[in-house]
Amino acid sequence: MIKLDLLTQLFALKPNTTDILMSVMLLILICSCLTFFACANPLVPISLEEEEQVKAELKGRSFRQFDPSVDANKRKGVILNFFSGVELWAQYAEGETALSEWSITAEDYRIEKAGSEYRIYFQAPRSEQILPRQCHNCIETSGISISIRDLFDSEKIRFKLNISNDDFPRPFPIFESWTEFREDEYFN
C-alpha cells in the first residue's frame, strides 16, 4: 500500500518551468559532447605497410619555409629534411646575421594518423644549438612532433609543427598552423 501511494504522489507532481529548462539544457549539453567526440579524429598508430609507404614518400625530400619571407630583414626559418631519418632545423636571423639556430634530428621516427594527417614523432632525438652558444642535447625534445596533411599530393601538402613545451629557444615556435612549405631539391 505504501508503494502504491508513493507512486501516485510521484506521478501527481507537476514539474515546474525551471526543472524543464534544466533538463533540456542538460540534454543539449550531453548531445553536444557526444557529437564532438564522435567527430573528433584521434591519432592512431599506422600499420607497418603504411609506415613504409609514408617513409618512402618522404625519403630524400627537403621542405623549407620562412616567416614572413626569406628576404625579410627579421625572419624565422624552418627546414624539414628527410634524408636519413628526420631533421628539424630552425633559425632566427636579422639581415645577414643569424642570432639563433638549432636542430633536432633522429635516425628514425614513428607515425600516427588521423584522417589525412600524419603525425611524426622523433625516436631517440638529438638536439643541437648552434647559436647563440653551441651545445648538444640542450633543447627539450619531448614535446615536439611534425604534422603532415595531404602527404601524397605535392600540390596540397602542408606542414604544422606541434610544440607542447615552452623550452624552445626564442623567438620560436612558429608554423603551428597548417603551412605550405616549399620543397627544395637535395644536391650531394
pLDDT digits (tens, 9 = 90+) for 112-165: 999 989 999 999 999 999 999 999 998 888 889 999 999 999 899 999 999 887
Nearest alpha-carbon partner for 151 in 119, 185, 173, 176: 119
Q: Give dist(CA 120, CA 74) in Å, integer.
A: 29
The helix (run of H) or strand (run of E) holding residue 169 is: none
Looking at the structure, tell me whether residues 14 and 82 fall in a common domain.
no
Looking at the structure, tell me whether residues 80 and 127 fall in a common domain.
yes
Looking at the structure, tell me whether residues 123 and 145 fall in a common domain.
yes
Cα–Cα distances in angstroms (integers) from residue 178 to residues 23, 101, 149, in the given order: 40, 22, 8
Q: Give dist(CA 60, CA 80) in Å, integer.
A: 11
User: Which of 18-32, 40-54, 56-70, 92-106 is predicted least confidently?
Assistant: 18-32
3 state SS of 125: coil
Could you list the residue range(s) of the whole structural domain that residue 13 is in? 2-39
pTM (two decimals) = 0.74
Looking at the structure, tell me whether residues 34 and 55 fall in a common domain.
no
> What is the domain count for the chain?
2
Assess if residue 44 is contained within a domain.
no
More confident residue, 149 or 168: 149
Here the cell at position 60 is 630524400
| b (16+ CB within 10 A) / e for 127-160 | bbbeeeeeeeeebebeebbbbbeebeeeeebbbb
Looking at the structure, tell me whether residues 68 and 35 fall in a common domain.
no
Looking at the structure, tell me whether residues 88 and 133 fall in a common domain.
yes
In the 8-state DSSP scheme, what is residue 165?
A: -
The helix (run of H) or strand (run of E) holding residue 187 is: none
Looking at the structure, tell me whether residues 73 and 130 fall in a common domain.
yes
Across the range 29-42, mean pLDDT stands at: 60
Looking at the structure, tell me whether residues 85 and 127 fall in a common domain.
yes
Looking at the structure, tell me whether residues 62 and 127 fall in a common domain.
yes
Looking at the structure, tell me whether residues 108 and 22 fall in a common domain.
no
Assess if residue 136 is contained within a domain.
yes
Q: Give dist(CA 65, CA 63) in Å, integer.
A: 7
